[in-house]
Structure 1
Amino acid sequence: MPNKFEILDCTLRDGGYYTNWDFNVELVEDYCKAMEELPIEYVEIGYRSIPLKGYLGEYFYCPDYVMKRLSALMPTKKLVIILDEKNIRPEHLKDLLEPCKPFVSMVRMAIDPKNFKRAIVLAKAVKAMGFQVGFNVMYMSSWKEDASFLDLLVGLDDVIDCFYMVDSFGGVLPEDVKETIELVKSKSNVTLGFHGHNNLEMALINSLTAIENGCELIDGTITGMGRGAGNLRTELLLTYLNSTGILDLNFTKLSYVVDEFETLKANYKWGTNLPYMFSGAFSLPQKQVMEWVGMNRYPIGNIVNALKNQKEALEDNIKLQVLEGKSTFETAIILGGGLSAKTHSTAIKKLASKNSNTCIIHAGARHADTYLNVENAQYFALAGFESEKLLKTIGDVSKLKQTCVYPPFPRKMGTIIPNEIKEFSVELSDINFTSVSVDSPMVIGLQTALDLGVKNIYLAGFDGYDNSKTHFKIADENQGILNDILKRGELNIVSITSTQYKNIKVKSIYSLFQ
């Protein structure tokens, strides 16, 4: 193996897809100290960006004080930031890059091949500011279908310092790496780099193949932390290179920082699984898979089926009867999965029994068995694997006489409806009050209430969530749904149990019996 190559670690940038680009200060300090001691030449510390919608954390914007701190912690390393080309234009560069000059050596650009010509204009402006320029060109596995953008490399050797082949889908094999390198070399003499994703667990062998065929920069992240299935594990590459005698390694420093990120991994659970393997094998976008997996709403089988339908351009083929019933009920009690729906179940059931013109809508199946003996009409808003959870919760399907409600046809995730409940399953005609989600139990439950013509909605069991990544996403989604239903104005919506959600009127269920 040739010795002329360098390693770039991009943990803080790529790992930010899991932490929303926020990292514990002590963790970052330990990471930087390890980088300073390890045989790694470049450290990519995050994005620089114009303001974008929504919350994105510290290492998405990398303020100057962050760059200054990290530079002091890693004085011998070449620091790198990355620009997302789709959001950045030359007129943004002065504000974005002038503060970087004392600290940053290279500016990389994440580039969709279809925007390559536009990226060249941006690159020339970055180069004129005195930075090394790296092109991170995405979707490597699809270049063979149309590599015409590579013709634009001719004459750019003095503009681009490194041209990275990015295996965005994590689906290339060593032979693909070799062929792509030959293709790029036929167009340009620019220094080559490789950024491998690990959907098929090929990141290491693909990176070694890239080195053997002339790539001089290789990306990795600690524990493989990165978008979707993650990346080449920096510690794996270093350990392999140490075993071959190519470099010496301080395993004490390495093991300490790896342990810290393994603790983080136990919470965020990055790494490959069957859906990521499928998306990699068929070059399907990881963003959707990451959202499905991250919400912990769907079983792996459902996600793979959805990806298979996406690959084959198939729509869900199960069409159900549409829920009907305008002006059917005056009031709906919508039950979330929070503990309060069970803790206060006696009072909730008594409240429902006071008026036969009240229905109960379950946003999910968690408390189904608690309410089976209620005489009021009940509806189950089901998504993901809630159908299976419903059957498991109630045990004996003969006890179930309620209506099961599914999202509108066609459903992205496909529909798996157990035979036992098909006879009383219906679907919504549409979701017409929000665009936040079309398949969360909350949105299905609220739309069911609207379609049943209710005027009053009592919420119970929408307690809120802790601050873990999965729960944060669900809580954020639920808050958006609630905000949209409140905008309608014509409904009286009250939470009758304690809730952390904002903007909702709260009234104790026990006060309703006075």
Structure 2
Amino acid sequence: FEHALIQDYLVAMKAIGVDVVELGFRTTDQKGFKGACAYTTDSFVRTLEIPEGITFCVMINASEILVNSKYSEKILGILFPETAEISRVSLVRIACHTHEFMEALHAFKFLNSQGYRVAFNLMQVSECDSKELILLAKEAMKYPFDVLYFADSLGNMNSEKVQNVIELLRTHWNGALGIHAHDNIGLGLSNTLYALNKGVTWVDSTVSGMGRGAGNVKTELLAIEISQLRDSSCNMKPIMALIANSFKPMKEKYGWGTNPFYYLSGINSVHPTYVQEMMADSRYNEEDIIAVIEHLGREGGKKYSKNTLGEARNYYSENPLGNWSPVKLFKGKKVILIGSGPGVSIHKRAIESFIKDSKPLVMALNAQSVIDNDLIDVRIACHPVRLMTDCESLNQLSQPLITPASILPSNVLDFLSSIELLDYGMGIQNTNHIYNETHCILSNPLVISYALAVASSGKAKQLLLAGFDGYSTDDPRRLENDTIFEKHQSVASAVPIIAITPTLYHIESTSIYAL
């Protein structure tokens, strides 16, 4: 953040009655470039003009001061070389997971001796059981710090869960309580106001909800509510100018704020960073993101791990392997590809009648189940996370599965161990599509691209598309799929394609009823 922006921010906070401004972090991490607010050093803070009545706060992660899970006063001393009497920072907030809390509490003694007020911020409390929260509250009473915060890190709490956490912490902790709410399911503000009504006295927010993923409670909204509770005036002009001039452009650039993906991650108790990372990766389309969230909801995604997401991101090879040729199965045949669009359900009877009469080779995307399973000859899928999501359904089906098995992670192959896998390789490069005998090179990882490559490499006579309805003209997936069809048709060995149910794509079409 530019210095001038921070000054405008402080003026706006003063105008709406904010008591404490958390300027940023303190960290010893020196890898890569980070702005001034990642370190919030005393020398930097002294360059700022502090409006009267505002307290400055910084946050540290408990993991920063725990070495091999043990508290390190040496590191804490490096982070806070000045006493509070000299520093312009008055409050230190320590963010910690519940398993870090007991050890992190030792930091209070040093910070208190240096004159700092101290707050502890318990993360992911919605995932703690009652006994754990009661034990933590009991331990907290041994250290007279200023405020115990609980954070709705996964953004999935409602008023009932908020009340439950407050009651559990109050079994022992009689000091001040605070709430840090995330907005994944749109309840950040209402949960905050509910907590205030139940005796919580510290609340926080960010301008325009700025924050990782779905973001936080919006300061501009909370300020209005607080001013009414205080029966005081609230000058909104500076903050609204700040939003219009600075935060609105930043939000458009960085894209924080709730959406259906964050909502889904919230109700599935999946860490929002998974959604944030996938939305920033063009290799994930909407269907992929939903599949990942559903899988992590079942397998456990409360704690973010780059390795976990990496299994779904880094499996494509620029030099693909493959040991199965589709020629024997496809050569000279008319093939019908069953998609997932509503056209399949609407015209189900006609499609099934055509299959019975004409006996084409029937290939279905993923675990599609609208068409009678006995009429499907083979299934096709290529996304590991989608495969894990569909594994239960696929294991109950009888067809062989065409998939780039050689590049799938071992855990995916374990899920599919009972299925006959036909290994047609796939690689991703920013290039035109290339169809080879046992593998293809594509510009995207979408299963429709993979299916077109398989049918073409297999020298199919014709590919009939059912259930490829298409998206509206303002939906970016419309252009994406039209581009896929264009790239396919530019390949010399491309199989001719024709849609037999209604489609919005720019491809040849006919009617299933005319066949």
TM-score normalised according to structure 2 size:
0.60
Match 1:49 to one of 18, 21, 27: 27
Deviations 1:308-331 (A, max 9, x none): 01112382547624569xxxxxxx
Look up the equivalent residue of 1:294 and give its one-letter code: A
CA contact (8 A) 1:224 1:271 kept: yes
Change (3 A) 1:296 1:68: farther
Given that 1:372 and 1:399 are in contact with CA atoms closer than 8 Å, whether structure 2 keeps it comes out as no
Please show how residues 370-389 of structure 1 align to structure 2 within 5 Å: 379-383=441-445, 387=449
Residue 333 of structure 1: aligned partner: none
CA RMSD between the two structures: 3.1
Deviates more, 1:190-199 or 1:152-161: 152-161
Correspondence for 2:154: 169
2:254 to 268, 272, 275: 268
> How far apart, in 2, do the equivalents of 1:402 and 1:84 lie?
57
User: Match for residue 99 of structure 1?
Assistant: 82
The corresponding residue for 1:234 is 219
2:280 counterpart of 1:294: yes
Separation in structure 2 between the aligned mates of residue 121 and residue 197 of structure 1, nearest angstrom: 28
Q: Secondary structure at the match of 2:12?
A: helix
**Contact residue 157 and residue 189 of structure 1 kept, 8 A:** no
Q: Does 1:85 align with 2:151?
A: no
CA contact (8 A) 2:25 2:38 kept: yes
Match of 1:285 among 250, 271, 276: 271
Distance 1:319 1:181, change over 3 A: farther
The alignment partner of 1:147 has SS state of helix
Equivalent-residue separation in structure 1 for 2:434 and 2:28 (angstroms): 53
SS of residue in 2 equivalent to 1:98? coil
Instruction: Find the counterpart in structure 1 of residue 243 from structure 2.
Output: 258
Judged with a 3 Å threshold, the aligned counterparts in structure 2 of structure 1 residues 384 and 177 are, in CA distance, closer, same or farther, namely farther
- Determine if the alignment matches structure 1 residue 363 to structure 2 residue 340: no
Match of 1:4 in 2: none
Residues 351-385 of structure 1 show CA distances to partners (whole Å, capped at 9, x for unaligned) of: xxxxxxxxxx8624xx63xx889xxx972253379
Residue aligning to 1:60: 38
Asked if 1:28 is matched to 2:14, the reply is: no
Tell me if the contact between 1:127 and 1:159 (Cα under 8 Å) persists in the aligned partners: no
Q: Is there any run of 5+ residues in structure 2 with no aligned partner, and where?
A: 66-71, 300-384, 392-400, 408-426, 450-476, 495-506, 508-515
Alpha-carbon separation, structure 2, partners of 1:383 and 1:187: 53
- Which whole-Å CA distance do the structure 2 matches of 1:402 and 1:65 have between them? 66
After superposition, where does 1:46-445 map in structure 2 within 5 Å? 46-70=24-48, 72-88=49-65, 89-99=72-82, 101=84, 102-144=87-129, 147-148=132-133, 150-151=135-136, 153-154=138-139, 156=141, 158-242=143-227, 246-259=231-244, 260-313=246-299, 315=388, 317=391, 320-322=403-405, 363-364=429-430, 368=432, 379-383=441-445, 387=449, 391-395=481-485, 397-400=488-491
Conserved in 1, the CA contact under 8 Å of 2:121 and 2:149? yes
CA distance in 1, matches of 2:135, 2:446: 42
Does the 8 Å CA contact 2:208/2:243 hold for their aligned counterparts? yes
Contact 1:157 1:188 in 2 (8 A): no
Q: Which residue identity does 2:80 align to in structure 1?
A: L
Greater RCO structure (CA 8 Å; 6+ sep) = 1
Checking the alignment, whether the CA contact within 8 Å between 1:67 and 1:100 is kept in structure 2 is no
Instruction: Give the count of matched residue pairs.
Output: 340
Give yes or no for contact 2:156–2:184 (8 Å, CA) kept in 1: yes
Measure the CA separation in 2 of the matches of 1:199 and 1:309.
18
Query: CA offset at residue 275 of structure 1?
Result: 1.5
Q: Residues 192-237 of structure 1: CA distance to partner in whole angstroms, max 9, x if unpaired?
A: 0000000001011100000000011001000000111000001011
Relative to 1, partners in 2 of residues 1:204 and 1:100: Cα closer, same or farther, differing over 3 Å? farther
Gaps of 5+ in 1: 1-22, 325-360, 404-419, 421-514
Cα separation, 2, equivalents of 1:400 and 1:133: 65
Closer/same/farther in 2, CA of residues 401 and 187 from structure 1, 3 Å limit:
farther
The answer to whether the Cα contact below 8 Å between 1:242 and 1:248 also exists between their aligned partners in 2 is yes
Does the aligned pair in 2 maintain the 1:222–1:233 contact within 8 Å?
yes
How far did residue 245 of structure 1 move? 6.6
Other-structure match for 1:458:
none
Deviates more, 1:31-40 or 1:208-217: 31-40
**What is the deviation of 1:185?**
0.7
Using a 3 Å threshold, how does the CA distance of structure 1 residues 245 and 91 change in structure 2: closer, same or farther? closer
User: CA shift at 1:143, angstroms?
Assistant: 2.0
Residue 56 of structure 1, CA deviation: 2.9
Post-superposition shift, 1:273? 1.1
Q: Which moved more, 1:53-62 or 1:41-50?
A: 53-62
Compare 255-264 and 230-239 and name the one that shifted more.
Answer: 255-264
SS in 2 for 1:220: coil
Find the aligned partners of 1:229 and 1:386 in 2 and give their Cα distance: 31
Show CA shifts across 1:90-120 (max 9, x none). 2112221123632111100011001111111
Are the equivalent residues in 1 in contact too, given 2:62–2:96 (CA < 8 A)?
Answer: yes
SS at match of 1:229: coil
Distance in 1 (CA, whole Å) between partners of 2:160 and 2:98 is: 21
Q: For 2:428 and 2:220, how far apart are their aligned partners in 1? A: 47
Match in the other structure for 1:451 = none
How has the CA–CA distance of structure 1 residues 401 and 304 changed in structure 2, closer, same or farther, with 3 Å as cutoff? farther
Query: Which residue identity does 1:393 align to in structure 2?
Result: T
Superposed displacement of residue 155, structure 1: 6.2
Contact kept? 2:102, 2:139, Cα under 8 Å: no
Shift of 1:128: 2.1
Determine the C-alpha separation between the residues in 2 that align with 1:184 and 1:394: 55
1:114 and 1:149 in contact (8 A); partners too: no
Give the conservation status (yes or no) of the 8 Å contact 1:222–1:261: yes
C-alpha deviations, 1:423-451, integer Å up to 9, x for none? xxxxxxxxxxxxxxxxxxxxxxxxxxxxx
CA 319–74 in structure 1, closer or farther in 2 if over 3 Å, else same? farther
8 Å CA contact 2:268, 2:293 repeated in 1 = no
- Cα gap change, 1:381 to 1:145, in 2 (>3 Å): farther
Partner of residue 340, structure 1: none
Paired AA for residue 270 in structure 2: L
Give yes or no for contact 1:113–1:149 (8 Å, CA) kept in 2. no
Q: Which of 1 and 2 has greater Rg?
A: 2
Moved more, 246-255 or 96-105: 96-105
Q: CA deviation at 1:386?
A: 9.4
Give the percent of matched residue pairs that are identical in Structure 1 and Structure 2.
26
Q: Is the 8 A contact 1:157 1:190 kept in 2?
A: no
> CA offset at residue 148 of structure 1?
4.8
